[in-house]
């Protein structure tokens, strides 16, 4: 019997949502979720090089912490090492989404981080969206660069590549990705208008604390 049906359905649904929102394009970008079979952590990952509009539940691959395929007939995403490195370093994180959205990637190409321009991004991401150093896709070097830039954050830009949003669940990871793209667009527009006023660092710290401890229905 196939494992983690509900979680696979969620992964397929969020991949389609990211695709329809133009946060991932064609076969580029990848998603994963951390799950547990009662004995160990496992990871659901999207397959390599498959059109998201055609991806089905049976195409989702289940791997272990070493990247060995536990279930599935497809080849897992080429960025598997990056996903596993993030999970290994962030035990509170259960969802990793890698996007190729336009405005976030424009910032990554320009070599600039997204500063603290809007409050919602600051609260969700934890501050500015840092820029991870460039490395070839799918490499250990890229995984290490992303892990380093993600410290204390829920999102990061990948130089000349795209972005990564993470969260405690799929909904949070999606929110991270969406806010990175929205904030990148606002930042670019503000630069065109000629002035970018940033959120005060002390105010940002207060907002992050409030968001993490008091915001919403608890």
pLDDT for 51: 86
- Is 132 domain-assigned? yes
What 3-state DSSP class applies to 41?
strand
Determine which one of 7, 9, 79, 144 is catalytic. 79
* Mean pLDDT for the chain overall: 93
- Is 151 domain-assigned? yes
Q: How far apart are CA 179 and CA 104, in angstroms?
A: 10
Confidence of residue 202 (pLDDT cuts 50, 70, 90): confident
- Is 108 domain-assigned? yes
Cβ pair 178, 23 in contact under 8 A: yes
Mean per-residue pLDDT, 167-192: 97
The DSSP element (H or E) to which 156 belongs, if any, is strand 155-158
pLDDT for 106: 98
- Is 74 domain-assigned? yes
In angstroms, the Cα distances linking 106 to 97, 103, 146, 149 are 18, 5, 18, 18
pLDDT at 80 over 50: yes
- Is 97 domain-assigned? yes
Q: How many domains does the chain have?
A: 1
- Is 218 domain-assigned? no
Residues 6+ positions from 15 with CB-CB distance below 8 Å: 24, 31, 46, 52, 55
Give the CATH number of the domain where residue 142 resides. Answer: 3.40.225.10
Helices 102-110 & 170-193, crossing angle to 10 degrees? 60
Sole residue written with tokens 């539940």: 57
Strand partners, 96: 32, 166
- Is 114 domain-assigned? yes
By residue range, what is the domain housing residue 27? 5-213
Reply yes or no on whether 79 is catalytic: yes
């Amino acid at each position: 019997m196939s494992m983690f049906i509900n979680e696979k359905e969620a992964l397929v649904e969020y991949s389609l949502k990211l695709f329809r929102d133009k946060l991932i394009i064609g076969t580029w970008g990848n998603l994963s979720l951390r799950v547990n079979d009662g004995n160990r952590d496992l990871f659901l990952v999207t397959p390599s090089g498959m059109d998201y509009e055609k991806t089905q539940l049976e195409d989702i691959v289940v791997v272990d912490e070493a990247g060995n395929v536990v279930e599935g007939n497809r080849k897992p995403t080429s960025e598997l090492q990056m996903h596993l490195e993030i999970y290994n370093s962030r035990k509170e994180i259960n969802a990793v989404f890698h996007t190729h959205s336009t405005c976030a990637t424009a910032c990554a190409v320009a070599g600039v981080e997204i500063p603290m321009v809007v409050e919602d991004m600051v609260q969700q991401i934890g501050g500015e969206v840092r820029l991870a150093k460039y490395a070839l896709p799918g490499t250990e070097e890229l995984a290490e660069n992303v892990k380093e830039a993600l410290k204390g954050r829920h999102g990061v830009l990948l130089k000349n590549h795209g972005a990564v949003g993470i969260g405690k669940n799929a909904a949070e990871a999606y929110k991270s990705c969406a806010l990175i793209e929205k904030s990148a667009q606002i930042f670019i527009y503000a630069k065109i208008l000629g002035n970018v006023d940033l959120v005060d660092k002390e105010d940002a710290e207060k907002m992050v604390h409030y968001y993490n401890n008091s915001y919403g229905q608890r």
